[in-house]
C-alpha cells in the first residue's frame, strides 16, 4: 500500500460491496427493460411494414387477379378485355407478324 492511504475497515468494505450489489441489481433491471422495449419496438415495426406493404397489395388484388387469370389463359374471366391494358391480343400480334414477314421467293 501507498503511504498515507488508510486501509478501509471491514464495515466500509461491506457498505461498498452492498452499494455495488445494489447498483448491479438496478443495472440489471434497466437492461431487462431495454431488452423488452427493443423486442416490442421490433414487433411494432414488423407489423407496420407488413401493413405498408400488404395493404396496397390487398387493394391491388382486384386489379391483379384479372391480369393473372388473363396471363394464365383462363377465358372464363369476363372482366379482362382481349386487348389487356391496350396491348394487342395474341391473334392481333400474329396478324402483325404475318404482315411484316419478308416475301418468300
Is residue 85 a contact partner of residue 71, using CB atoms and an 8 Å limit? no
> Is the pTM of the predicted complex or chain greater than 0.75?
no
Lowest mean pLDDT among 19-23, 36-40, 53-57: 53-57
Question: How does the average pLDDT of the chain come out, rounded?
Answer: 82
Question: What would the grid cell of residue 19 be?
Answer: 452499494
pLDDT of residue 46 exceeding 90, the answer is yes
Residue 73 dihedral angles phi and psi, to the nearest 5°? 95, 15
Give yes or no for residue 6 having a pLDDT over 80.
Answer: no
Q: pLDDT tens-digit profile of 59-95?
A: 887 777 777 777 777 555 445 455 556 677 788 788 8
Amino acid at each position: 500500500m501507498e503511504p498515507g492511504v488508510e486501509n478501509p475497515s471491514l464495515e466500509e468494505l461491506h457498505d461498498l460491496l452492498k452499494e455495488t450489489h445494489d447498483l448491479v441489481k438496478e443495472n440489471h433491471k434497466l437492461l431487462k427493460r431495454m431488452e423488452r422495449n427493443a423486442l416490442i419496438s421490433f414487433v411494432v415495426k414488423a407489423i407496420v411494414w407488413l401493413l405498408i406493404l400488404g395493404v396496397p397489395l390487398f387493394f391491388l388484388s382486384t386489379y391483379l387477379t384479372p391480369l393473372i387469370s388473363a396471363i394464365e389463359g383462363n377465358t372464363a374471366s369476363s372482366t379482362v378485355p382481349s386487348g389487356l391494358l391496350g396491348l394487342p391480343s395474341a391473334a392481333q400480334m400474329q396478324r402483325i407478324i404475318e404482315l411484316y414477314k419478308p416475301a418468300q421467293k
